[in-house]
Amino acid sequence: MYPNHLVWNPEIQECGRGGCEPQEASDSCPLGWLQNKMVCYLYVGGAQNFTQARASCEGQYSMLVNLATKSERAFAISILRSRAVGERSFGIWTETWDKEDGKCPLFNLSSIAGNAHIYKDDCFSLSPYICKRSAVNECPNGCTYNGRCGKDKRCHCNRGWEGKDCSVYHCRDRNKCGQYGTCVGPNQCRCQPGWQGRACSVSYCPVYSTCRSCTEQPGCGWCDHKQRCLPGHESQPWREQCGTWFYHDCFSVDTHMGCSSQVEYIGCDYRHRNSTIRYSNDELCHRCRDVEACFIDDISYSCRQWDMRKCPNGLVRQVYNHGDRALDTTLHAHVKVIKPGNAEFYVCPISNTEQRGHSILVTRDKVKYPRSKDFVIVSKQAGGIMHKVYATQEKGTYQYFAAVRASLEDVIQYANFNQIVPVRSLMDDRTLEHVPEERIFKIAYMWEGAAIRGSLVHVLKDDHVFKCLGHWYNVTIRPVASQYIVLRQSMSKHINVCDVVVSGESQGQGFLEDIEDIVTESEAVTYHAKVKTCCQAMSFSPIAVSPVSTSNTMYCHGGEQNDRSLHISESVNQETAPPVVGDVIPGRTSGAFLGQVISRFEKGGYIFLECIPIQDLNKDTVLTSAPYTIFHPDRRLNNQISTDGIFTSLKKEAVFETTSVLRKQLSVDMNIVVTAGLQLHLQSTVPKAQKIGIRLDATVDYNMNNSYEALVRNTEFNEDHYAPRAF
């Protein structure tokens, strides 16, 4: 006797005892069906009567299993054994014969280990069943598991699917998701912010009654003159127009007269740009001005709203290139800005290894400085001063400041701009060295005495080779500076215009300087000098002995054009007479030189060779910035020419890796395009600030005119310098 009430446990394994091997699904069978040879089977554990089981199989374009073959009978037995619970197995309906006297065929095991037989059972009893169909699916792509293959070999798609193979989803049952939704699956809609419902036809925005609560909801905005929360995007509501639309936030600018009490306002003119208010500063002013620029200019409703074209996504778009934004840079309170007309400063580098980057700043003008522990001095003198002072001393006539290079963060409290600013030349370019590339220098030494298109190559071997400043010439796009090589007459009789002269670093005695003042004190003598500018009409005194050669001397450079110097010497008894005011002395150190002579004259027992630097040299060409024949006196410019907006130069040292007859350290002259984009974003919330209106001089990337095979590093003086005893 077989039970009428069957229990189906879905956790029972497909294959259990009795040796049943699992049958894996195949691409030829629908999902959930098992394949045995060329037939697909679906075991349905939900118990139904015979008529219901037959209809269920037909609804899936299949039929009840009929056990027509031994293979199918064995397959059915394996399923019965795998579905048995304990010693009980549950028979399945079959199509072995039609109904007889209310009895229907039921296939079941006589015992778990025994044989199976077909029994007659009440057709209204509830039993599992197995549907079967051909494993060959003759419909396109097997209907992509989104439909059933009919006897007509056509796909009958499930709801939400369409197409010949039921591979295309649709949302026609959801009104195609309406105007505010997108169909993303079979009858599945994704609603835009502000909308909800199965067809995205209902807005949740109107339930909010205040501007603040409204704008906090995605897809909702506040129409102020209608006092309603409406669904929309950042520019407008979806279904109607609104001239006072607030989407991301609830505030306006200028005035709140035209806005309701729901809208707050910020008053840039009354608060953040009002210097009489304690917490007002440039930083708050810039931020407020940036926000103010994001609102529309049309005030038809007297309530200005956010302009998404200017500032999309509700984000402030700063106007970094505003005309005067760079002028509103705020410095820290401990920064002291020194203008050249107020005090003359000099920088005395300290070159020992332990104090690399440290300097001593010197001035004889009384300077009031912040009394904080560390303060910063900024000036455009001495090639640019931006030093953090950590010790001060007043000694006699002079003030001394021990300092180290400062960073921009040490100087600038607030700056927020991105503008093209001119980089100002902070020194006379004629004072810079024009050191040739090592390769060119070697060629010049090898060709000593040879002629290159009429230009003889002269190697200067005298130990007394001096330099002085030349002239500016307007011969190319940018002015070209010349320098004079000063030699004793006996060493330069055969050097003519257009010849090439080359001198090593060991021959250089430095730039000539005119002593302008001498300050004698108990512990030191300070010589004030200026780098000499040579010309044929000048008066020239004999070259005196430099203080450097008679005592321990500290050399300092300074002045607005970086063309002035200090020689601070210890007061000692000297065997030779010290220099006096008006004397010419060797001062600033100079390096190797390679140039072409463009003019010459004699004065005071010396030959003055005016030269322009050589950029390249080969057996056929002497390459300079312009042919030497066009450097006429009538093309000379005022020596006080400003190079703002044209070019400036940067002096570096190069260490050559290959051996050379030269000393290993050579100065490399590089040109920088001085009009550069400078972007600063330094922000602070400190309310107390010091404001200056200046353009910043920036450190910019530089491009070499020639290919220098060298390692470039910061310039340092080669001599050992000694600080005054005050330190």
Chosen domain end from 136, 154, 176: 136
pTM: 0.54
Do 313 and 337 belong to one domain? Answer: no
The owner of tokens 């007509």 is 152
Query: What's the pLDDT at 711?
Result: 26
In a domain, 570, yes or no: yes
> Quick check: 243 pLDDT over 80?
yes
Query: What's the pLDDT at 714?
Result: 30
The owner of tokens 């077909």 is 118
Least confident of 104-108, 448-452, 462-466: 462-466
Do 499 and 600 belong to one domain? Answer: yes
Do 338 and 313 belong to one domain? Answer: no
Mean pLDDT across 240-254: 87
Residue range 204-223, pLDDT digits in tens:
999 999 999 999 999 999 99
> Quick check: 524 pLDDT over 90?
no
User: What phi, psi does 489 have (nearest 5°)?
Assistant: -60, -35
The DSSP bridge pattern shows strands 116-122 and 564-570 to be: unpaired
**Nearest residue to 636 via CA among 473, 479, 480, 429:** 473
In a domain, 151, yes or no: no
In a domain, 174, yes or no: no
Q: What is the DSSP string of 75-140?
A: HHHHHHHHT-BTTB---EE--SS--BTTEEEEEEESSSSS-EEEEEEETTS-EEEEEEEES---SG
In a domain, 19, yes or no: no
678 contact partners, CB below 8 Å, separation of at least 6: 326, 417, 418, 419, 420, 421, 696, 698, 700
Mean pLDDT across 621-640: 84
Q: What are the angstrom distances between the C-alpha of 216 and each of 193, 220, 246, 309, 398? A: 12, 8, 11, 22, 65
CA 208, CA 185: separation in Å to the nearest integer? 31
Instruction: Give, as one character, the DSSP assignment of residue 246.
Output: E
Do 242 and 390 belong to one domain? Answer: no
Owning domain of residue 54: 34-136
Residue range 587-614, pLDDT digits in tens:
888 888 899 999 999 988 899 999 999 9
Do 217 and 295 belong to one domain? Answer: yes
Helix (H) or strand (E) holding 726: none
Do 446 and 512 belong to one domain? Answer: yes
322 contact partners, CB below 8 Å, separation of at least 6: 289, 417
Instruction: Count other Cβ atoms within 10 Å, centred on residue 647.
Output: 16
Q: Which amino acid is at 483?
A: Q
Do 315 and 284 belong to one domain? Answer: yes
CA 250, CA 268: separation in Å to the nearest integer? 16
In a domain, 6, yes or no: no
Please calculate the CA angle 17-21-24 and round it to the nearest 5 degrees. 135
CB 660 within 8 A of CB 442: yes
Mean pLDDT across 620-636: 88
Do 358 and 230 belong to one domain? Answer: no
CA–centroid distance for 535 within its chain: 50
State the greatest distance between any 2 C-alpha atoms of the chain, in Å, as a whole number.
148
Mind spelling out the 3-state secondary structure of 657-695? CCCCCCCCEEEEEEEEECEEEEEEEECCCCCCCEECCCC
**Nearest residue to 560 via CA among 365, 366, 382:** 382
Q: Is 354 helix (H, G, I), strand (E, B) or coil?
A: helix
CA 695, CA 57: separation in Å to the nearest integer? 88
Residue range 60-72, pLDDT digits in tens:
878 898 887 888 8
629 contact partners, CB below 8 Å, separation of at least 6: none
CATH code of the domain covering residue 91: 3.10.100.10
Do 282 and 339 belong to one domain? Answer: no
Least confident of 315-319, 375-379, 628-632, 666-670: 666-670
Number of domains, the chain: 4
In a domain, 402, yes or no: yes
The owner of tokens 């006797």 is 1
Please give the structure tokens belonging to residue 645. Answer: 């907006």
Residue range 633-647, pLDDT digits in tens:
888 887 554 433 333
Instruction: Give, as one character, the DSSP assignment of residue 654.
Output: E
Residue range 273-327, pLDDT digits in tens:
666 666 666 677 777 878 888 888 776 667 888 888 888 888 887 766 666 677 7
Please give the structure tokens belonging to residue 239. Answer: 């279904």
Least confident of 157-161, 242-246, 262-266, 506-510: 506-510
Chosen domain end from 417, 452, 475: 417
Q: What are the angstrom distances between the C-alpha of 512 and each of 81, 159, 516, 532? A: 114, 98, 13, 6
For the chain, the first-to-last Cα distance in angstroms comes to: 118
Do 292 and 380 belong to one domain? Answer: no
CA 382, CA 531: separation in Å to the nearest integer? 13
Do 224 and 339 belong to one domain? Answer: no
Chosen domain end from 267, 291, 319: 319
The DSSP bridge pattern shows strands 524-531 and 564-570 to be: antiparallel
Do 601 and 480 belong to one domain? Answer: yes
In a domain, 199, yes or no: no
In a domain, 525, yes or no: yes
